[in-house]
Every structure is written in C-alpha cells, then in structure tokens.
A = this chain, B = another copy of it.
C-alpha cells in the first residue's frame, strides 16, 4: 500500500504494531495526520486533507475507532456535536487525553489544553465514573482578532 514519506512514518508503523493492529493505509494515514497536526481533528478534517489518498468516509471512521479502542488516540465530542480525535507524541502509547479542550466557535479548530488536567469530581455514592471530558469554547486568538475588525 502506497503511503506518504513523512517524518512519522516509522513511528506510526511501530505504534500500530505495538498495539496489535494491522498496518493498513488508512490507519497509517489517520495516525500520521493526528500526530503531525498540532490539534485534534474531526472526521471531516481528516477527509479534507490533500494527502487523504481518497479513503472512503467509512474507512476513516473505522480507522479512528480502531485507534481509539487501542488507546492510541483520545476523542472529545465538542459543543457543536462533532467528535474530534487527538494524538500527542508525548502521551503515547497510553494517551489519556485527560485534559480540557478548547473549541473555537468561528474556525471550528480544537486545541488541547494540556496544562489543564481535569479536576476530580464528586459524584453520588454508587455511581461508576468511566470517563470525563471538558470543553471550553469561544474564540481562538486569531478569530478573536478578526472579530474585532
């Protein structure tokens, strides 16, 4: 399977192998893209990239689910209802995604606020907590500047 000659190419292969996933083009592409990108990406954004190699929409979804299932990426459902997936080289291979995320309501980009770990939350007795996510929304610096013109 043809693939890009990017800097993370060997790294993605190693990561996929380590978690027991077959090395397929879509998984390499998706993990590669998430590692390169400085911020979490939505399914739509992954499809839009020039180097997406025209993988089918469904294939991208399934690649994301596989990576998520193996813990290579974390995901957040934004206030806009769109799920975005992120991978951080420093977090891998046990990327917890245990931090807040910022979502710009104008450009739709999401950023990991890795400096803000999620707080402990008190829940009623008997409750089982499986996970948590926090989304901060508003305008990113660039969009905030444009909004004031």
Contacts and interface: CB of A to CB of B under 8 A. Distances in A.
A73 to B, nearest CB: 15
Interface string A56-67: 000000000000
Interface stretch (A7-15, A17-25, A110-118): A110-118
Contact of A131 (B100, B125, B126, B137): B137
Chain A interface size range: 35 or more
A118 B137 contact: no
Nearest to A133: B135
A118 B130 CA distance: 19
A47 interface: no
Contacts of A127: 102, 138-141, 144
A146 to B, nearest CB: 11
A2 interface: no
Interface of A: 77-81, 83, 100, 102, 105, 111, 113, 115-116, 118-119, 121-141, 144-145
27 contacts: A77-B77, A77-B81, A79-B131, A79-B133, A81-B83, A100-B132, A111-B124, A113-B122, A113-B123, A116-B119, A116-B121, A116-B122, A124-B140, A124-B141, A127-B138, A127-B139, A127-B140, A127-B144, A128-B144, A129-B136, A130-B138, A130-B139, A132-B134, A132-B135, A132-B137, A133-B134, A133-B137
